[in-house]
Chains A and B, each alone.
Chain A
Amino acid sequence: MSYNVKLSVYEGPLDLLLFFIKRDEINIYDIPIAHITNEYLNYLKLMQSMNLQLAGEFILMASILIRIKVQMLLPRPEYEKLEDIEDPRTELVQMLIEYQKYKEIGEQLKQLEEIQSRYFPVALASKLHNYDPELFLGDISLIELGLTFQQILDQMPKVEMVNLEMMKVNIRQQILFLRECLKKRSRIRFSEIAAKLKDRLEVVVTFLAILEMIKSMEISVSQKDIFGEIWLTKKKTGQDNALSNT
C-alpha cells in the first residue's frame, strides 16, 4: 500500500471546525463538543507529527474548545433556573455561523470572478506583448533552473576513462561567450547553448556564468512548464557588472 498523506488546506481553525461539522453532519446549534474537540486535537497532532508549523490561532481554538468542554462538565448550582444558564457553546456557534456566511459569499464571489474573467474590456490600457507562442513564459524558480541543468548534465557523454586536464574554462570566459550568443538574438534556449559545450565542466562553468549574469540583471531566465525549455533573455539595462565579480 502506498503511503499518501492528503492534507487539505484550512484557512484557519474556524474553517477546520466547519469541515468536521459538515463531514460528520453535525447540527451546528448542538455541537457534540467532546467529539469535535477530539477530532480537532487529532488534526493538530497530525500536523505536528508532520513537523508543520502550527499557527497560534489553532492553539487558541484548542484552548477554547477545552474550556467549553470543561464548562459543560462542571455541575451547575441547583438554584439556577434552566433558562438562566447560558450554553457555553453559544459564542463559538455564533463565530462559526458568522464565518460560514462570509465563506459562502466568498464562494459566490469566486463564481462571479469566473464568469467575469471570460469577458475582456474593449479599450484595455494594457500593453500587448510580441505575439510568439514560444514566449508565453512564466517566471521560473531556481530549483527548476537547477533541474534543467541536471538534465543537460545527464545528456553529456559519459566519461569512461578519466583524463586529468588543465582547466580551460572560467566564468569570465563563459560570460563573454554567452554575451556573444545573445548578440545575434536577444533570446536563446539554454539547450542551444549547452549543445555548443564540450564537457560537464564547461556546462557547470556556463551555468555559474548564467547565475552571475542573472544576479547582475544582465539577463533574465524564463520557462513555460516544469522541465520545459529554459530561455535566456537579454535585459536592456544593468550590463557590465557580471564580469566584476569573477
Chain B
Amino acid sequence: MLSQTHKIVLALLFSATEPLTKSQVDICLEEDVDLVQIIADLNQYLETEGLPVWIQLVAGGYRLMTRAEYEPWLTRLFQNKGKLRLSRSALETLAIIAYKQPVTKSEIDAIRGVDTSLRPLVEKNLIKINGRQEGPGRPLLYGTTDHFLEHFGLASLKDLPQVKELAEIAGEDNPLPDIVEQDATE
C-alpha cells in the first residue's frame, strides 16, 4: 500500500502540466522528501498494479506518462497534433546546438556546410536565443530549451547521446562536451 506522502506526490504528478521538480514537491509537502525513492516506489506500484501510466524523469523533473503500448489510441485521440517528427536536417542542427551551446548560426552553418534556418526550431520552442556573443557583429547565441529535453525524453543535457570522441572529454564539471576546443588544439 502507498503511504499518504506517496499518494500526495502521485496527485501532484496527475495534475502537473509540466515536469514536477523536487523543489516544487518540497514546497507542497512542506518538508524535504526523498523524491527519488518515492518515485521509484510509485513506479513499482504502477507496474505491479498493471496501470497504463509510469513516471518519467524528463527535463529535470518527473512527469506521469502513458505507457508506449497505448500509443495507437492516444494518437487517434490527439489526431496527430500531439507529436511532431523532426526532419533530418532539423535533428542535425539540434545535435550541433545541444553539444556546442551557446552557439552562433555561423558556427552551425560552418559545421553543416549549408545555410541553416533556425527560425522553425525557435518557433517549435526547441531552441532559444541565449543573448549575444561579444565581438564583431554581436551575433545571436542559441541554446536548447526544456522542451527540447522533453521532446527527446532526456532528464538533462548530460543524458545526450555520447559519441566516441565526445565521451573521452566529457568531464564531471563539463556537462556539455565541447568539441570546438578539441579541434582548436589540433
> Which residues of A line the B interface, CB within 8 A?
11-15, 55, 57, 61, 94-95, 98-99, 101-110, 112-113, 115-126, 128-129, 131, 133, 135-136
Contacts and interface: CB of A to CB of B under 8 A. Distances in A.
Interface residues of B, number: 53
Contacts of A133: 76
B83 to A, nearest CB: 5
A135 B79 CA distance: 9
A126 B115 CA distance: 34
A101 B163 contact: yes
A150 to B, nearest CB: 28
Contacts of B74: 120
Contacts of B115: 55, 57
B17 A123 contact: yes
Contacts of A11: 88-89, 92, 112, 114
23 contacts: A55-B114, A55-B115, A57-B114, A95-B111, A99-B112, A101-B165, A102-B92, A105-B160, A107-B91, A108-B161, A112-B161, A113-B86, A115-B153, A117-B83, A117-B85, A119-B65, A119-B153, A121-B17, A121-B63, A122-B63, A125-B17, A129-B79, A136-B80
A94 B113 CA distance: 12
Q: Which 3 A-B pairs have the closest CB atoms?
A: A12-B114, A116-B153, A108-B161
Contacts of A115: 68, 153
B163 A104 contact: yes
A122 B66 contact: yes
B134 interface: no
Contacts of B96: 102
Contacts of B160: 105
Given A57-B115, A94-B183, A120-B71, 9 more contacts: A98-B183, A99-B111, A99-B112, A101-B163, A102-B92, A110-B86, A120-B78, A123-B15, A124-B17
